[in-house]
Structure 1
């Protein structure tokens, strides 16, 4: 258990730009996704799903996302559009985590959304446990209607994260962690 606690205490996210090949193997990816799906799930609704985007099959997706960005930002410069291309083409692997909200009297929407968020967090932890870096991003594409169509999302689905995964290039920046006395109250 000490190793698990140490992993959780030292978990950090490298910049997506610092993630390089190799990506996880198919066996490692399946293990990560199995762990990602092992989250609190009131009502056993499985209010999440995963879309896997390996680097070698992502070129068409990147161009469609760039076109969506251009359509939504007609005054964007070529540099800004290229930045959006890089955002989706740089990491060796991206897993899109989708939340599927199903109206349910006993399971509020927020619990379903939080379950999908927990799947994102478990995916980050699993990647780090297997020796990879991972970063959870959203950005405009997570909320863009045309991108929602591009990812094949139903009306009751939304993207909750693009999880970028790969090997870490260089040192990971260690940000200051919160002072517990500033965020914990006892009543």
Structure 2
């Protein structure tokens, strides 16, 4: 039996602008979202990910610290640029950091790239879980994902990496669809003759 509501969600899902996300996200909703997000393909059952929650006043503190880091790295910021950085984590009521943590897994190790795919799947699942609970989300990385000092500011360990920061809240905004690739251009049929 088909699930028409799920098909409709998958066919129309769009990420709203982060600044459009508002309201509150309850502790119960967060726990449900994260529980569902963690139900991903995970070769070897390694759980190569963890979550960091940025909410409440700590969102503003994170932004202030990121602005200082960017200024330290790149030089003085204009007032507008500083404000943009200071608001990075406070535009939505909740930001979930999905942090990739590679696992050492024995004599026949699961490749690190495969583990990272697992963490990426967590981000996508989190968007779906948020939608199922009546919220919307936007998955980004941004400059601070690739800056070791910025990652440390955000509570991410030296050996860890960012799979994504998922901004979550409520919005009534309808986001127009964007151009999508022609699916026929993305499909080939395997033939053993191609290897001859």
* Interval containing the TM-score (normalised by the shorter chain): over 0.9
Pick one of 118, 126, 131 that aligns with 2:129: 126
Call closer, same or farther: CA 1:80–1:169 in 2, change over 3 Å: farther
Tell me the CA shift for residue 15 of structure 1: 1.0
Q: Report Cα offsets for 1:109-139 as digits up to 9, x if no partner.
A: 0111000000000001111111111000111
Bigger CA drift: 43-52 or 64-73?
64-73
CA distance in 1: counterparts of 2:67 and 2:47, whole angstroms? 31
How well do the aligned residues superpose, as a CA RMSD in angstroms?
1.5
Q: Report Cα offsets for 1:159-184 as digits up to 9, x if no partner.
A: 11110001114322321222101212
Count residues in correspondence: 186
Unaligned runs of at least 5 residues, structure 2: 191-196
Q: Report Cα offsets for 1:71-109 as digits up to 9, x if no partner.
A: 111043221121112222211110011000123433000
Secondary structure of the structure 1 residue equivalent to 2:125: helix
2:16 and 2:173 in contact (8 A); partners too:
no
| Structure 2 residue 118 is the aligned partner of structure 1 residue 107 | no
Unaligned runs of at least 5 residues, structure 1: none
TM-score by length of 2: 0.89
Superposition pairs of residues 55-134 of structure 1, within 5 angstroms: 55-104=56-105, 105-134=108-137
CA distance in 2: counterparts of 1:173 and 1:2, whole angstroms? 21
Tell me the CA shift for residue 62 of structure 1: 1.5
- Provide the residue aligned with 1:155 in structure 2: 158
Call closer, same or farther: CA 1:100–1:124 in 2, change over 3 Å: same
TM-score by length of 1: 0.93
Displaced runs of 4+ in structure 1, greater than 4 A? none
Secondary structure of the structure 2 residue equivalent to 1:135: strand
Superposition pairs of residues 2-81 of structure 1, within 5 angstroms: 2-20=4-22, 22-81=23-82
Who wins on radius of gyration, i.e. which is larger?
2
